[in-house]
A and B are shown apart, each in its own frame.
Chain A
Amino acid sequence: MPTRSTPLADTTARLDIAADLLTLLRDTTTEPRPDSQLEALTLAVAADLPVLLWGEPGIGKTAALNQLADALDLPLTTVIASVHEPSDFSGLPIVGDDPAEQGVPLAPPDWAVRLVRAGRGLLFLDELSTAPPAVQAALLRLVLERRIGALRLPPGVRIVAAANPRSSAADGWELSPPLANRFVHLQWAHDTDVVVRGLGGTWPRATLPRLDPGKLPDAVAFARRAVCELLTARPGLVHRLPSGETRRGGAWPSPRSWEMTLHLIAFATAAGSSRDVLSLLVRGTVGDGPGLELLASLDRMDLPDPETLLADPAGAVLPERGDLRQAALDAVVAAVRSRPERPRWDAAWALLVKAVESGPPDVVVVPATTLAALRREDWDVPAAIERLAGVVSLSGRADRAAARTAAAEEAVAKAGR
């Protein structure tokens, strides 16, 4: 007996040491780190919109879902789509005593029963793109209609799907435009810094957004205004089917996806999320072009109201960035043009002086020229205008540079002839 027990004890001891090593390897810490893509995912899931994560295999989508489930305090159920059959999602037929009389009931799979019984949870449908077409069809019905066989998923269950991008999917999988239009498409990429630091023992712990109950009405009003203002100005963006091979299977604008965008703007606003997060969400819902137009129009909505600026030039705060500052000043001049009154004209000059004193003078040239042209005969030139003398000489300097360049070009052209 001792001859047999020694090697056995030895093996157990070796496995214990291996277990110790594994424990050490698993012993990692986390640190808070802002993560735009995780925040975008959280907001879309909170808004109860179907999310489709696009990412290469092995990029950490599952890890992100684990983190999301922790953060939302939901049990996670992962279903690998490619190893299932369509009947696993539409229900397995169960033969009773008299099929002709009572019919054949379709039994849902166990995980679905458990999800429904729990009433809440996060369902992650992985590898959607590598499943056969019939399985995909069954899965998409699950995502979009929330039905598995005869079961209906309760509202507390949130669904996220993942797919490999077309270039790396084995069979060139893609969504048809009507299906693509129902998803929020999030591109999942890895951040080298995060991976290196994580392998070194410290993984990021995303600070997840919380909706501020006090901000809800304002958030809805803001979202409605943002979408409606853009679509009023650009009616062509309301519905535009994707054209061309490169844009197939991605997000595109339609009344449905604009409504999703509206929801997402409201959620991002209530959560106080950054524009980067909102950009991921909006571009993932209506596509790059319309999404960027929406964001550009939000930038313009952020500009100070010209009437507020004119009412109190002394206390006015102008945007720091040159292009936005010029846009704000242009808006002020346009407001004066629409209702030309002496005090407003003077206030506009005061604003231009303020702009020159607090930032680059070249952005003031165009608004100043336009404002000067608005002068009525009986309006005296305000004293403040002298402080804009530098702007006039700057403009003259640019004119002279233009003249010299033109002369040099002409000389070259002559010599060439």
Chain B
Amino acid sequence: MTATETGTGTGTLDRDKLFAARLHAARVRPYLATALFALHVVESRRVPTMGVDRHWRCYVSPVFVDRTPVEELAGVWVHEVSHLLRDHHGRSDRVARERGLNGPGDRLRMNIAADFEINDDVYGDGLARPEGVVEPGDLGLAEGELMEEYLRKFSVGPRMQDLAWLDCGSGADGRGREWEFGPDGAHGLSEQERDAVRFRVAQGITGRPGSAPQGWRRWAEEAFHPPQPWRELLGAAIRSATSGPGAGEDYTYGRPARRSTAIPGIVLPSLRRRPPRVSVIIDTSGSVSDAELGSALLEVAEIARAVGGRRDLVTVVPCDASAGFARRLCRAEGIHLTGGGGTDLRAGFTRALRSRPAPDVVVALTDGQTRWPGTRPPCRTVVGLFPRGYDGHAYDDHAYDESNPVYVPDSPPDWARVVDIGS
């Protein structure tokens, strides 16, 4: 028995050892079992260790299986399947396109950055850490970040050679390897099948949230709905609010249409553009930091540009427990945002809606630790929420009020379009 535990040494693939390791991996990570079993094993003498391609084939070196203990092989299984579940090849291709990273060293960096993303929380809890595994700490980097973030933080150097522990194949970094079968080879999974497997794993994790660690839960929530950049979302929400019917450009009977001369006696509507007025309520209470106020002001400038460059149409209302005066953006380049203490955005709404002419859109930038108006304002409302607590759900937990510790802030009302503002 000991002979088989340490390897047969004959150079043929010890399938029993490899599959015993997969069984162990599936037992300690039951939520990954579907994905682990969906992998098709290909014996290959050219792959240095174990690697996956984007079609969910797993290339295995018999020598590597021989010299690696079962429990470490299980760790490698989970590592490789994580590359595929987290779509590292697709994300690598995207990063390469966006940042113009096309050198061979770049793909090596992507493989290492992807390894960092996986390795910082995948081992332990019944799963052994394979020998020589790379972790962000090896380069002095913090844990818990995404591949794209790690990629910005280190460059190819002589130390990289030691870090290239596993060549994880094209499934990890998108670069094809000579031992891989390619899209037409046998036993590959089609795009739809890959999505289906990833979806079933994600569903298993969200269905039983207790069993999977935080990193996997976050992955499961975002697997098919990747978070969009908040600037785009906020911009889209504001632009759509300002350009919708009733605000900004639309047809009017107030002046003659360009076709009026062709059809005398008929009144046709004509297209007329009236730039929308936007009121921005900025939460200046003590719970909002200076950095956040700075980025909020930047957003106000963005909004001003989004509505057509008429800065005189954007008013800003600083607001804590009481609302300050509404100011035109053009007058106040450096708007004095004073405040502190608690927040009551209701005062800000009252102030913003009282200004004449009335705004078409009210944008509230806040951390959500506030009361909200009880009735729907007579114009469109967009709420930009600064993150509080965990998961970016500012209003779920971590209620904060010195005078009243049991106070739980209301969540933003239904009539507002809410955009979570990230960092």
Contact = CB atoms under 8 A, between A and B. Distances in A.
B227 A398 contact: no
A289 interface: yes
Q: Is the interface of A mostly helix, strand, loop or mixed?
A: helix
Interface in B235-253: 235-240, 243-245, 249-251
Given A86-B269, A94-B263, A322-B37, A402 B28 contact: yes
B418 A398 contact: no
A220 to B, nearest CB: 22
Interface in B175-231: 187, 189-193, 195-197, 199-200, 203, 224-225, 227-228
Interface residues of B, number: 73
Contacts of B35: 323
B39 interface: yes
B250 A132 contact: yes
B249 A132 contact: yes
A395 B232 contact: no
A201 interface: no
A390 B33 CA distance: 21
Contact of B251 (A86, A174, A404, A409): A86
Given A92-B263, A398-B20, A245 B193 contact: no
A129 to B, nearest CB: 11
A245 B23 contact: no
Contacts of A404: 69, 71, 128
Nearest to B21: A401
Contact of B20 (A166, A245, A362): A362
Contacts of B244: 133
Contact of A133 (B39, B225, B245): B245
B26 A362 contact: yes
A405 interface: yes
A323 B40 contact: no
B268 A93 contact: yes
B98 interface: no
Contacts of B41: 360
B236 A172 contact: yes
A278 to B, nearest CB: 8
A245 B17 contact: no
Contacts of A137: 245
Contact of B235 (A172, A322, A393, A395): A172
A405 B251 CA distance: 72
A406 B27 CA distance: 13
A166 B236 contact: yes
The list of the 10 closest CB pairs from A to B, nearest first, reads A172-B239, A322-B37, A397-B20, A172-B236, A398-B24, A401-B70, A362-B19, A323-B37, A362-B23, A292-B199
13 contacts: A93-B266, A93-B268, A167-B236, A172-B243, A245-B236, A245-B237, A276-B192, A321-B38, A322-B39, A362-B20, A401-B24, A401-B70, A402-B24
